[in-house]
Amino acid sequence: MGKRAKGRSRQDFFPLNAAEETILEAAAVGGVAVISQTRPEEMSDSNTVRATFLRFLALGGDDEAPVHEQGLQVQGAWITGTLDLSNAEITGALMLLKCRFDQILTLFDAQIRGLFSLKESQVPGLFADRLTCHSGLFLKDGFLTAGEIRLLGATIGGDLTCTGGTFENPSGRAFTADGIKVGGSVFMNDGFNAQGEVRLHSATIGLNLHCSGGKFENPNGRAITADGVKVGGFVVMGNGFMAQGEVRLPSATIGGNWACDGGIFVNPKGRAISADRVKIGASVFMRNGFSAQGEIRLIDAIIGSGVDYSSGTLENPEGRAVFADRMNVGGYIFMQDGFKARGEIRLSGVTIGGNLECDGGIFENQGKVAIRADGMKIGGNVFARHGFSALGEVRLINATIGGDFDCSLGSFYSQNSFAINFQGIHIYGVLLGRSVKISQGAVALASAHVGRLIDDLRSWPENIVLDGFVYGAFSGEASTAAKDRLAWLDKQSLEHSGKAKNPREFRPQPWQQLRKVLRDMGHLEDARQVAIAFENRKRFCGVIGEISEPAPIIRRFLGGKVITFSSPKPVTKWRRLESRTARGFHWLYGAVIGYGYRPARLFWIVVLVWAFSSLLFDIGGHSRVFGPTDPQIFENSAYDPCNPEKNPRANWTRCQAFPRAYPAFYPPLYALDVLLPVGKLGQEDHWAPLAPERALTAKNWLLAWATQFAVWIDMMFGWIAGLLLIATVSGLAKRQDD
């Protein structure tokens, strides 16, 4: 036999102690060398084994000390010195069970073709960078280390099992496995305890990462660092899992679910979970007792199925409980059934393929924003019903919802201006808000678009913002009565509703939108009532109509040049009523014809004026205050019997001496002739009230003046009525296209 390197021959270890003899005998037959049934607490002659002797056997021994292909298996030994297997190739298993090491193990670039197990052993540390273990690596069931376990760039063919292990290095890293590749699963569960940072940065795990029941403690830093980790299956951090310190999974890839049900994440002054850009093939579960103290970050995350926070508790009252801008979720987000968050839930720019369900959820961020989801895109519905409570502003500015938004029986309270801020939101389905309680704060729906609206008046608070709010119809039990809908419009601020007499702040669009919707739904009378109320409010506020002005010319300084351009759309402004005369005419237009919406009213007013005038003219005819308009009749003595000035009993309108060709006096026709602004019936051309100075008595003098005034008023009224009729006809034609 040729010479061997030092430490590779049995003779280098003479004499062997009893424990080493036992190990030598067991190694030859492939059995377990049992030095003690338990891990030794003290070193003794009977349990001491030199680390160099174990290395000799692990490398295969020699001809005088052969090692079975089962490998080296030792239980209950106290191992002294450094077990250095760096660059070694171990053809069998290396199982050092319930052993205690007084020096750090080193296995840099080592290769182990069998199982490597330190089950129930205690080590001061393990350095095994680039270790290759074709089977599994067990650091479990009572394994204890008071220093760092380092597996940088290691490759594990099977499972990395740390179940029930204790890893203590509170001032540094307890477990470092950056870049590790594990063919099976990683188990850090069921009694696993790490004091210090656990690092799996850029690790690749073929199957699953199990952390249920594990405790990761690094309260002043990172509890778990798994940036860029790739897990082929699922990740479990629930059912007794607890992390004190930040849990990091940014840019991680998880093929299945990330399940944190019942997990506890504590980092109150920072981020409890940081998983920006994480990619998850299935769902995220943070339900059923899940608790996080600190921020949960999921910015730009991609989640294949859904995110479920049901019954979870999130605590970050001084900041954001969830920060998930631009997250893309293929299915749903649930924050319901006892979910509670203290701190802002931020979902700006999030895309959700299915529903956002918050029924029964409690969101608290007093004096600030409770839910911020500006620009969110939801393919399904949003539910905030049945016990939903928001203490803080709920913002969905410019959000898009493919289905319905239902907040019936929800509760909102905000010390900000708005309890609900839906400015620019687009809801393709129904906005349903019945029996909603808004204790404080307004509702903003400026420039919002809703397919249909189902509401009740008592659910709307004061100072709502409706300018630009567009909705297709009222549905369900929503009232379409003009009285109720006008009361709804009056819940706007005094300035926006026009009650403050500030034409610059008056918002006409909500009135026009309401009128259009009622008309399109077939509620024509209610639409007319709204239109009339709108005109009355405009006059009260001090405006009478809109006028278009050319778009303003805008100049910008760009690249050393002045660029001049204008908007293609004209600017719409409201013309003020500057004089009492204008207000008076506007009032008259409304009183006589209802601003064109009550054309029948003009007819009945005309009939009333005609009837009154006919009666007055009939009395005048009997009282001799009417006479012929032809002066030749007065000069012709043949008609003296008809002239009251010459015959006290005569009456021009009852005279039988008139030629047959002269039209008789008929008061109704005369009244109609005076009222008609165009066209003649022949009465006004042949008859007229006599001058008051020709009256024979004082009574006739007063009647003559009254009749004359009535003629003048009728003529003026006839012209006004005619103009109003023309305006009405043209106006009605236009309104049909509004």
Instruction: Tell me how far the alpha carbon of residue 344 is from its chain's centroid.
Output: 13
pLDDT digits (tens, 9 = 90+) for 618-642: 776 666 677 776 676 776 766 667 7
Cβ atoms within 10 A of the Cβ of 544, count? Answer: 20
pTM: 0.82
pLDDT digits (tens, 9 = 90+) for 184-214: 999 999 999 999 999 999 999 999 999 999 9
Residue 128: closest CA among 88, 97, 166: 88
Q: Which helix (H) or strand (E) holds 18?
A: helix 18-29
Average pLDDT for the chain:
87
pLDDT at 674: 74
Question: 604 or 174, which is more confident?
Answer: 174
| Lowest mean per-residue pLDDT among 151-165, 346-360, 439-453, 536-550 | 536-550
pLDDT at 577: 46
- What does DSSP say about strands 687-689 and 626-628: parallel, antiparallel, or unpaired? antiparallel
| Lowest mean per-residue pLDDT among 228-232, 414-418, 441-445, 663-667 | 663-667
DSSP 736: T
User: What value does the mean pLDDT take over residues 336-363?
Assistant: 97
Considering just the CA atoms, what is the radius of gyration of the chain in Å? Answer: 48
Question: 263 or 580, which is more confident?
Answer: 263
pLDDT digits (tens, 9 = 90+) for 278-304: 999 999 999 999 999 999 999 999 999
Dihedral, CA atoms, 697, 701, 702, 707, nearest 10 degrees? 130
| Lowest mean per-residue pLDDT among 370-379, 440-449, 696-705 | 696-705
501 in Cβ contact with 540 (< 8 Å): yes
Reported as a pLDDT band with limits 50, 70 and 90, residue 707 is confident
pLDDT at 97 over 90: yes
Q: Compute the distance between CA of residue 257 and CA of residue 250 in angstroms, rounded to an integer.
A: 16
Report residue 50 as tokens.
């030199």
| Lowest mean per-residue pLDDT among 72-81, 133-142, 486-495, 537-546 | 537-546
**Complete DSSP assignment for 103-120:** S-EE-TT-EESS-EE-TT
pLDDT digits (tens, 9 = 90+) for 394-445: 999 999 999 999 999 999 999 988 999 999 999 999 999 999 999 999 999 9
pLDDT at 664: 73
pLDDT digits (tens, 9 = 90+) for 168-188: 999 899 999 999 999 999 999
- What does DSSP say about strands 78-80 and 48-50: parallel, antiparallel, or unpaired? parallel
- Mapped onto helix, strand or coil, the DSSP state of residue 466 is coil
Q: Compute the distance between CA of residue 245 and CA of residue 268 in angstroms, rounded to an integer.
A: 9
79 in Cβ contact with 57 (< 8 Å): no
pLDDT digits (tens, 9 = 90+) for 311-324: 999 999 989 999 99
Reported as a pLDDT band with limits 50, 70 and 90, residue 121 is very high
Peptide bond into 15 cis (omega under 30): yes
Query: 426 Cβ partners below 8 Å, 6+ apart?
Result: 399, 400, 401, 448, 449
Q: Compute the distance between CA of residue 508 and CA of residue 514 in angstroms, rounded to an integer.
A: 10
Query: 537 Cβ partners below 8 Å, 6+ apart?
Result: 497, 498, 499, 506, 511
Residue 191 Cα distances to 96, 212, 241, 703, angstroms: 21, 9, 9, 113
pLDDT at 2: 59
Reported as a pLDDT band with limits 50, 70 and 90, residue 132 is very high
Report residue 82 as tokens.
């450094």
pLDDT at 706: 74
User: What value does the mean pLDDT take over residues 337-360?
Assistant: 97
Q: Compute the distance between CA of residue 164 and CA of residue 186 in angstroms, rounded to an integer.
A: 13
Q: Which residue intervals of 385-520 are DSSP H helices? A: 482-489, 494-497, 509-520
Considering only the C-alpha atoms of the chain, give the largest distance between any 2 of them, rounded to a whole number of Å.
175
Reported as a pLDDT band with limits 50, 70 and 90, residue 738 is very low
pLDDT digits (tens, 9 = 90+) for 43-58: 999 999 999 999 999 9
Q: Compute the distance between CA of residue 500 and CA of residue 466 in angstroms, rounded to an integer.
A: 17
Residue 181 burial class via C-beta count within 10 angstroms: exposed 0-12, middle 13-18, buried 19 and up = middle
pLDDT at 233: 98
| Lowest mean per-residue pLDDT among 62-66, 482-486, 512-516, 697-701 | 697-701
Percent of the chain with pLDDT over 70: 81
311 in Cβ contact with 337 (< 8 Å): yes
Instruction: Tell me how far the alpha carbon of residue 376 is from its chain's centroid.
Output: 6
